[in-house]
Every structure is written in C-alpha cells, then in structure tokens.
Amino acid sequence: MTVLTTPDRPDRPAVLADTRTMLGRGVRRLLRYPSLTIMLVGIPVVFLLLFVYVLGGTLGAGLVPGGGRSDYLAYVVPGFLLLTVASSGQGTAIGVAMDMTEGIIARFRTMAIHQPSVLSGHAFGAVIQNFAALLVVLGVALALGYRPDAGPLGWLGAVGLLLLVVLAVTWLSMALGLGAKSVETASNAPMVLMLLPFWAPGSCPPSPCPRCCGGSPSTSPSPRSWRPCGRCSPGACPARPTRAWRSAGASW
Amino acid sequence: MERQTAIAVAGLRRAYGEHEVLAGIDLTVPRGTVYALLGPNGAGKTTVVHILSTLLRPDAGDVRVLGHDVVAEAGAVRAAIGVTGQVSAVDGLLTGTENMRLMAALHHLDRTEGAERCADLLARLDLTEAADRPATTYSGGMRRRLDLAMTLVGDPQVIFLDEPTTGLDPRSRRALWAIIRELVARGVTILLTTQYLEEADQLADRIGVLDGGRIVAEGTADELKRRVPGGHVRIRVATADDLARAGAVFPTATADPDTLALDVPGGGDVTALRAVLDRADAAGLAIADLTLHTPDLDDVFLALTGQEVPA
C-alpha cells in the first residue's frame, strides 16, 4: 500500500479536480431535490404573473401616457430577474445549511482535499442554478410578450451584470447559510434580499422621471427599461438604459 | 519507536471557554492495534477524536498521528487517516454508489480503479443490493456501514471510530465488529470510542478509561479487571440451615437468604474455587450449586468512574 502524500497546500490540478468533483456533487444534489428548485423558480414566475396581470395595466398607465400592460412588462422584467437571483440565493443558503447540518462536512474536513472546494462547488452550482432559473423566468416573460430590442453587446452586458449580481448574492447567501444554526433559519435569512427589488424601483417607478424618449409609446414604450431606447442620444438621459438596474443594485 | 507508533498524545488539553474538557491526556497506540477510549457521556471521548482527526485544535500538548503533528502537518495527517464520526457522514441525497464514487474522486483515484474499489467495498460491507438507492432510505446499520465503506475508500492507515455501534441492533453491531477485526488483521490502526464495555472488551488491545477529562485507568481488558475487587465464588445450598452453617464456615461471605446463596470473596479463579471446596468438604457442608464470578468491565467502569453503568 502506498501512502498518499498530500502536501498542506494541494497543487493546482487537485484544486481543479476537487472543485469539479464538488460541483458535480452540487449539481447532483440539485437534481435529487427538484422541489426546492421548482419552488425557487416558481416564486418569481408567480410574482411576475401577478404584477403584470393584476397590477400591470394600472402601473403601465403611470409609466407613459397611454401606457399599459406591455409597457409595464418591459419595465418590470429586469427587476424580476433580480428577484429570481434573490430567490435562488435562498436555495443556496438552504443547500449550504443542509450540508452543514449533515455529517458529511466533518468528513470533508478530515480529508486531504482542497478544503475551499466544498464551498466553491456550492458557488459554481449556484451560478448554474441561477442561470437556469433566469432562463425560465425570461422565457415566461417572452411568452407574456416581452420583446427586448437589445443588441448582442447589450445582452452580453446584461449577462455580465447578472453574473456579478449572482456571484455577490451567492456568496452572501452562502455566508448566511453557514451562519444559520438550522436549515429553517437559513431559508428565512435571505428573504430580505427578495424584498429589496420591491423597495428599489424594480417593480414600480419611485417618482415621475423625465421622459426623454420622444415618439409614441408603441415604438419606445418604456423610458426606464434596461434596453437602449435607440432614439435618444445618450447625453439626453444618461441614466436611462440602466436606471432600474442601478437603483436596484445600489440598494443591494 | 517512531515507526511503530501510530498515535502519540502527550499532555493534551482542551477547553471550551471556561469548561475544561480534556485535562492532560497521554496515550500511545502502536501500529496495527486497537485502542478503545471508554467513558461515560461527556467524558471528552469525541473531543479526543476531533483533535486527532484535525477537526479541533488542541489548547496544549503534543498530538501526533504517524509522526505528523495534527496542527502543523494537518494535511499529512488527513492523508493518512479515516474518520467515522457519531453523526453519519454520508450525503443523504446521493446513492450508496455515488457517495462512494465521490470519495474515490476526492482521493484522485483513477476512474476504473475507483469504481472497482467502490464496488468491492460495497460488497464487503454487504451494501451491493442497496447501492443504487439514495442513502436517506438506508436503515441506521446500513448508513453506518456505508459511512465506514466511504472511510475505507482512501485506504487509511489509521482509523478513528467515534461510537461506531451506538444505536445499532446486536446483529449489526457484531457485523461491524467483524469488519473492524478484519481491518486490524490487515495492519490498520484503530482508535475507537465507546460506552459499551463489551465492545471494548471484544475489540481492543488496550483500553483507556476516560472520565472527567483524564484517563483514569489504562491497560488490557484483563489488567483493568484485575485492578478492581469483585471476584468471588458463589455457592448455593439446599436449606436455610445449610446457609447458616455455611455462614459459619465462611465468615467473610455475604449471604442472601432469599436465594440461599453465599458470595465468598477472595477471587473468582480456580485457586479460590479449590480453597472454597476444601473448606466446605472439611466442614461437611453440602453445596447444591456453584458459580465463579470474575469482575467484568462493568465493575471496572463503576469502580473507576463512580458512575452507574449505562444500560
């Protein structure tokens, strides 16, 4: 029998291999516990339907003169994508807390593995879960008639920004999950993240804003949506394309 | 000396805040032997295991596993040990096979080699049938066996078992004992904690009795038994009259009128037996029945820890 001699600082291949192994474990756990994922994706979808169909007509009318449900949909989708990230963060906290209450963490800690891989596996798994959830919510929004006219760069920017938000929320959720004494606490702790998009102008404009996009609502329906309007010069309304994002981001 | 010693602990202390759990522990476990830490709940058994397995840092003392310091060389210690704790360390959402393959991957075993070893260990621990079911569906005994199987994937040279059979039925317990003996036969060193005296008696080469953060007695099961009084010859007679006469023949004995039995102290071995028979013959005393009573670990436990023996 040969002795496994692992140095205190494992070499790079071990870091990659262990992280990949832990990611595989995380994904497998997600697949084995689908009800959690379904619930986490369900929350933003239900809220989206609720806001767009129950309140959307009225709120849309306040956005632009003669506006309606479709205007509100265009306004609210970015906020609800953030809500999706917050909801998935709850899942991450639950997952980490479940792990910590099980004995397997003690086993990992007594093994000669790259120790941070236990958490980075969770983090990468969470990114995958988040983007899967974001795709579902975006899909629902598209089905409801959401038609963003962003170009490739705009989308790239949106994905990049979402990735950063996802990572930030994921690590925060993991910290909350680690700090929680039970799975129940862990599931409640990130709840406040889900409320933040409602405080920020994620679902409803905070105050009347100068409307800088001229023209009819049908061609430029939402002054504060995340997509560039295309008909205004950037100088006319510098904060416009990302106003909802920025406000939401700032309050996070 | 270094090569032969698997676990060396000197002056180990550990406190949780004001509460001192370990108040200076010394113990040495030679390679290929089983050492049992025996003690009541809260004696500090688990703390010892946690420190030896790098989960906790000692406050003071020199703690080495295979010559490696558990703090300064934690990585080398982790590479050589396997731990099966009190809380079952399996991933409940994964199947038996997936749990095992996870361990194989973390030990960086080659894929086919890992798969073979996993299948082999699952078979050895009688889990082949359940291998494709999630571990949450396992019974307590199966979970414990899977736990041990996962510990064995890395082929550890030193294994820590923290109350390995607590909560298991007698049959599962014996099955686990058989596995532990097999491991020791292959040269693995085992430190186990238990509150079952029988378990320590059955498995351990040496036993340390831990109480109040100190090892209050150490030795082989026989050595420990010899340290406590309690050996006696119990004779039973036919009538109350005989009991009274026997009481006169053996003045130091304690009589029990209900069962017509008399415990004659002075040891529970053959020499004591012969002496009792000689004196009974000389007095013309008729003995109906007779048993030898050697002190067992229950007596040791009671005498050393001053506690009731756990049921």
- Is position B301 within any domain? no
pLDDT at B113 over 60: yes
What are residue B28's phi and psi, to 5 degrees?
A: -135, 130
pLDDT at A214 over 50: no
Residue ranges per domain, chain A? 24-203+236-251
> Do B80 and B56 belong to one domain?
yes
> Do B145 and B241 belong to one domain?
no
A192 confidence band (pLDDT: 50, 70, 90): confident
Mean pLDDT of B62-69: 94
pLDDT at B17 over 50: yes
> Do B147 and B243 belong to one domain?
no
Mean confidence (pLDDT) of chain A: 77
- In chain B, which residue's Cα lies nearest the Cα of A105? B89
pLDDT at A89 over 60: yes
Nearest to A20 by CA among A110, A155, A142, A114: A114
A205 confidence band (pLDDT: 50, 70, 90): low
Q: Is B3 on the interface with A (CB under 8 A)?
A: no
- Is position B111 within any domain? yes
Beta-carbon separation of B80 and A4 below 8 A: yes
Mean pLDDT of B95-112: 93
pLDDT for the residue B295: 72
Beta-carbon separation of A9 and B75 below 8 A: yes
- Is position B187 within any domain? yes
pLDDT for the residue B309: 47
Structural domain including B38 reads 5-226
> Do B186 and B46 belong to one domain?
yes
Q: Are B210 and B48 in contact (CB under 8 A)?
A: yes
- In chain B, which residue's Cα lies nearest the Cα of A34? B93
pLDDT for the residue B189: 95
Who wins on pLDDT, A11 or B42? B42
pLDDT digits (tens, 9 = 90+) for B270-298: 788 888 888 888 888 888 888 887 776 66
pLDDT at A217 over 80: no
Q: Are B159 and B110 in contact (CB under 8 A)?
A: no
Mean pLDDT of A82-94: 90
Most confident of A58-67, B108-117, B268-277: B108-117
pLDDT at B178 over 60: yes
Residues of B in contact with A104 (CB under 8 A): 89-91
In three state form, how does the secondary structure of B16-69 look?
A: ECCEEEEEEEEEEEECCCEEEEECCCCCCHHHHHHHHCCCCCCCEEEEEECCEE
Residues of A in contact with B88 (CB under 8 A): 103
Question: CA-to-CA distance for B6 and B190, rounded, in angstroms?
Answer: 9
- Is position B247 within any domain? yes
The alpha carbon dihedral of A224, A225, A227, A232 has a sign of: negative
Question: CA-to-CA distance for B49 and B85, rounded, in angstroms?
Answer: 8
pLDDT digits (tens, 9 = 90+) for A93-121: 988 888 888 888 889 999 999 989 999 99
Question: CA-to-CA distance for A87 and A46, rounded, in angstroms?
Answer: 12
Q: How far apart are the CA of B92 and the nearest CA of chain A, in angstroms?
A: 8
Mean pLDDT of A238-243: 41
> Do B191 and B256 belong to one domain?
no
- Is position B307 within any domain? no
- Is position B311 within any domain? no
Q: How many domains does chain B have?
A: 2
Q: How far apart are the CA of B129 and the nearest CA of chain A, in angstroms?
A: 20
pLDDT digits (tens, 9 = 90+) for B240-267: 888 888 888 888 888 888 888 888 887 7
Beta-carbon separation of B87 and A106 below 8 A: yes
pLDDT for the residue A69: 82
Q: Give the pair of three-digit tokens for residue B77.
A: 């210690």
pLDDT at B18 over 50: yes
A149 confidence band (pLDDT: 50, 70, 90): confident
User: End of a domain among B197, B226, B255?
Assistant: B226
pLDDT at A251 over 50: no
Question: CA-to-CA distance for B65 and B53, rounded, in angstroms?
Answer: 9
Beta-carbon separation of A17 and B108 below 8 A: yes
> Do B217 and B274 belong to one domain?
no
Mean pLDDT of A114-143: 92
pLDDT at A237 over 80: no
A37 confidence band (pLDDT: 50, 70, 90): confident
Beta-carbon separation of B98 and A104 below 8 A: no
B238 confidence band (pLDDT: 50, 70, 90): confident
Whether this model's ipTM surpasses 0.85 comes out as: no
Question: CA-to-CA distance for B147 and B167, rounded, in angstroms?
Answer: 14
In three state form, how does the secondary structure of chain A look?
A: CCCCCCCCCCCHHHHHHHHHHHHHHHHHHHHHCHHHHHHHHHHHHHHHHHHHHHHHHHHHHHHCCCCCHHHHHHHHHHHHHHHHHHHHHHHHHHHHHHHHHCCHHHHHHCCCCCCCHHHHHHHHHHHHHHHHHHHHHHHHHHHHCCCCCCCHHHHHHHHHHHHHHHHHHHHHHHHHHHHCCCHHHHHHCCHHHHHHHHHCCCCCCCCCCCCCCCCCCCCCCCCCCCCCCCCCCHHHCCCHHHHHHHHHHHHC
Q: Residues with Cβ < 8 Å from A156, sequence gap 6 or more?
A: none
Question: CA-to-CA distance for B66 and B76, rounded, in angstroms?
Answer: 9
Find the CATH number of the domain harbouring B236: 3.30.70
Q: How far apart are the CA of A192 and the nearest CA of chain B, in angstroms?
A: 28
Residues of A in contact with B91 (CB under 8 A): 25, 29, 102, 104
Q: Are A24 and B101 in contact (CB under 8 A)?
A: no
Q: Which of B83, B108, B155 sits opposite A110 (nearest CB)?
A: B83
> Do B89 and B129 belong to one domain?
yes
Mutate to test the interface with A, among B106, B148, B186 (most CBs of A within 10 A): B106
B28 confidence band (pLDDT: 50, 70, 90): very high
Question: CA-to-CA distance for B194 and B39, rounded, in angstroms?
Answer: 7
